[in-house]
């Protein structure tokens, strides 16, 4: 078994839009796929990963181990820079 540390986004409670980042150990032998995705947070947009495991569960990860990141590509991790001019700023 090969365990590696991932940082996943965990939703707080049912029906809540609040999420927190949690570090989790995954057995790499039980990961079926890792797909780059964009994760929308209330304060920012992140590059992240959709992790699918052999038991059918799916996780949204904000950080993955460096060995896997080298294969996928480092451009897929971290915050997305969005430049908006003042007229395109979201209403608050």
pLDDT band, residue 56 (cuts 50/70/90)? very high
pLDDT value of position 41: 75
pLDDT band, residue 91 (cuts 50/70/90)? very low
**Which pTM value belongs to this model?**
0.71
CB atoms within 10 A of CB 31: 18
pLDDT value of position 20: 84
Collect all residues with Cβ–Cβ distance below 8 Å to 81 and sequence separation of at least 6: none
């Amino acid at each position: 078994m090969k365990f590696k540390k991932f940082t996943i986004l965990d939703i707080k409670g049912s029906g809540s839009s609040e999420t927190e980042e949690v570090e989790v150990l995954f057995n790499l032998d039980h990961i079926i796929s890792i797909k780059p995705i964009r994760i929308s947070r209330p304060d920012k947009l992140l590059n992240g990963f959709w992790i699918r495991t052999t038991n059918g569960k799916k996780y949204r990860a904000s950080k993955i181990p460096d060995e896997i990141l080298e294969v996928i590509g480092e451009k897929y991790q971290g915050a997305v820079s969005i430049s908006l001019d003042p007229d395109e700023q979201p209403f608050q």
